Amino acid sequence: MADEIVNRVANNKNLITFDLEEYYPKGNRILFDIKNWLFEGLILREKEFRKYVLDHDWSQYQDVYVALTCSTDAIIPGWAYLLLTSSLQPFAKKVAVGSLEALETILYAEIINTIDISEYQNKLIIIKGCTNKPVPQGAYIDLIQKLQPVAKSIMYGEACSSVPLYKRK
């Protein structure tokens, strides 16, 4: 009679796989490029810019995550992003300045900040690396900084092929 194969990794109660994809905030993301609201795509004229803001239908951003950007080399004064955010605030779930990846990084930073880490005290943790959703690299950085003070060890990847990152001495 052959010996039964036992999956020691699956049976290890101290080993926890942390999958950031499970925390992915649901909702549409939009990159709002203001270049078309600039004179020749480069110069912000306050009067015209304010008219665009006033005439725009902001309700289309209801429950949407919005990243504000300018894809040209224009110099955009800080108040312009504030004005846009003020108009988006009643509708959008979140507004950020930058790329969609920057938006995702901010969303994940907020989520990771709220995670109760007490259940990870003295545990072996594997941070799952493969995801189908756009988890930004910054989220992994935030996560290891959050977990390292309490974890016994932290690895990256899958249980069958993980890369050691940290081990408490």
Predicted confidence (pLDDT) per residue in 129-141, tens digit: 888 888 999 999 9
pLDDT band for position 158 (cuts 50, 70, 90): confident
CB 27 within 8 A of CB 67: no
Q: What is the DSSP letter of 90?
A: T
Instruction: Give pLDDT tens digits for 54-111.
Output: 999 999 999 999 999 999 999 999 999 999 999 999 999 999 999 999 999 999 999 9
pTM: 0.83
Would the pLDDT of 8 be above 60?
no
CB 139 within 8 A of CB 105: yes
Distance CA 152, CA 159 (A): 16
| Region label for 157, one of left (φ > 0), alpha (ψ between -120 and 50) or beta (otherwise) | left
